[in-house]
């Protein structure tokens, strides 16, 4: 594979992970091309300058490496397919996972397809994940070496036939090693902070953002005994397990959002123990490696950075946890693992 005839298109975000990925591939002798994907930058957030800075950082790395650099404008697709999905989900009272959708529709959808049409042999990103080629089962998606940075939770929508064409160069590195390499290579973004928040926007106040699209609607906050103990400005703005931002002043907290009634515009709150549930329904499952028999006991993650929990999954998507799980939330993802391997995932109904 170490041939300049092998063309790898790298998704360059302007961050240190994708930058080091490009350097490692260049040093390995590949024909590397850098691409910055322009995302949707809602004017209401004043985020216009952020994508421009990120693009400039990516361009500087490519200039230093003396590799081609392109900007692919996916801003309309981001808005239509990722932004709209996020806003519509909140309108329905569920909590979306825009980073999963971003990877599905943009990075391993539009970007992947365009790269292949432009002659790429492989695509690469700065995600903390690993792939391997097994003799019998083909390509597999594995957790990153750095378990604290592992991003496979957001990658379960990748198709199995894509995996053999995807490279994650930093997947076998710890984050401090990546920083060290960036400094060694003289990259100007070596100390750049990791991106936070939603994939296409970054950090921002979600509630203030949603208010631009969903009108506030005053409603009651009710405890599990049926007592009205406060008021909210719209069930859309709150998610299961949320503690902060609740207008409750009886001094008997902390309270957590346990469930929501969209039709009646009521938020029900309770204690930490009330967040524990054992059952969930999983729909729209994408299998990278589908189990041969059901039901099957798997390691399951129901939100990013949440600990893995043992659960039994039936063929129809019924998921039963052995010891219960905290704040299972409609719209979020349940991702299935067997050891280091990610098997697939789906949406919590």
Rounded to whole angstroms, how far apart are CA atoms 163 and 22?
19
Rounded to whole angstroms, how far apart are CA atoms 89 and 14?
29
Rounded to whole angstroms, how far apart are CA atoms 78 and 92?
20
DSSP secondary structure, 214-280, as one string: S----EEEEETTS-EEEEES-GGG--TT--TT--B-SS----EEEEEETTTTEEEEE-GGGGEEEEE
Query: What 3-state DSSP class applies to 310?
Result: strand
Q: For residue 219, what are the CA distances in angstroms to 207, 231, 299?
A: 16, 6, 38
Phi, psi of 216 (to 5 degrees): -60, 150
Helix, strand, coil percentages in the chain from 3-state DSSP, rounded to 5: 30, 30, 40
Query: What 3-state DSSP class applies to 113?
Result: helix
199 assigned to active site: yes
Rounded to whole angstroms, how far apart are CA atoms 331 and 25?
37
Q: Residue 252 corresponds to which tokens in the numbers above?
A: 């008997």
**b/e burial code for range 125-137 (CB count within 10 A of at least 16 → b):** bbbbbbbeeeeee
49 assigned to active site: no
Phi, psi of 180 (to 5 degrees): -65, -40
**b/e burial code for range 189-208 (CB count within 10 A of at least 16 → b):** bbebeebeebbbbbebeebe
Could you say which of 8, 199, 221, 343 is catalytic?
Answer: 199
Could you say which of 102, 210, 221, 246 is catalytic?
Answer: 102
Rounded to whole angstroms, how far apart are CA atoms 170 and 192?
16
Active site positions, annotated: 102, 199
């Amino acid at each position: 594979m170490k041939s300049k005839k092998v063309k790898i298109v790298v998704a360059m975000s302007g961050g240190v992970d994708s930058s080091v990925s490009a350097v490692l591939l260049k040093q390995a002798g590949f024909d590397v091309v850098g691409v910055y994907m322009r995302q949707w930058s809602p004017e209401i957030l004043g985020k216009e300058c952020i994508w421009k800075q990120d693009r400039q950082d990516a361009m500087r790395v490519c200039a230093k490496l003396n590799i081609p650099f392109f900007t692919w404008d996916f801003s309309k697709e981001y808005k239509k397919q990722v932004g709209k999905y996020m806003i519509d989900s909140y309108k329905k009272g569920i909590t979306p996972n825009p980073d999963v959708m971003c990877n599905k529709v943009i990075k391993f959808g539009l970007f992947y397809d365009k790269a292949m049409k432009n002659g790429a042999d492989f695509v690469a990103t700065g995600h903390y994940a690993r792939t391997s080629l097994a003799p019998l089962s083909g390509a597999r998606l594995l957790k990153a070496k750095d378990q604290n940075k592992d991003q496979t939770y957001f990658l379960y929508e990748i198709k199995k036939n894509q995996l053999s064409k995807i490279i994650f160069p930093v997947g076998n590195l710890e984050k401090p090693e990546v920083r060290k390499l960036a400094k060694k290579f003289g990259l100007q973004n070596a100390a750049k902070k990791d991106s936070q928040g939603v994939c296409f926007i970054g950090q921002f106040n979600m509630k203030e953002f949603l208010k631009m699209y969903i009108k506030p609607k005053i409603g009651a906050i009710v405890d599990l005994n049926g007592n009205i103990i406060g008021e909210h400005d719209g069930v859309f703005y709150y998610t299961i397990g949320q503690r902060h931002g609740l207008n409750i002043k009886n001094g008997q907290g902390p309270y957590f959002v346990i469930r929501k009634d969209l039709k009646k515009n009521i938020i029900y709150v309770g204690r930490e123990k009330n967040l524990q549930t054992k059952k969930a329904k999983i729909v729209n499952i994408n299998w990278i490696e589908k189990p041969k028999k059901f039901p099957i006991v798997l390691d399951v993650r129901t939100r990013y950075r949440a600990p893995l929990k043992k659960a039994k999954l039936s063929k129809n998507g019924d998921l039963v946890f052995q010891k219960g799980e905290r704040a299972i939330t409609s719209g979020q993802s349940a991702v299935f693992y067997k050891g280091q391997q990610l098997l697939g995932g789906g949406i919590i109904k």
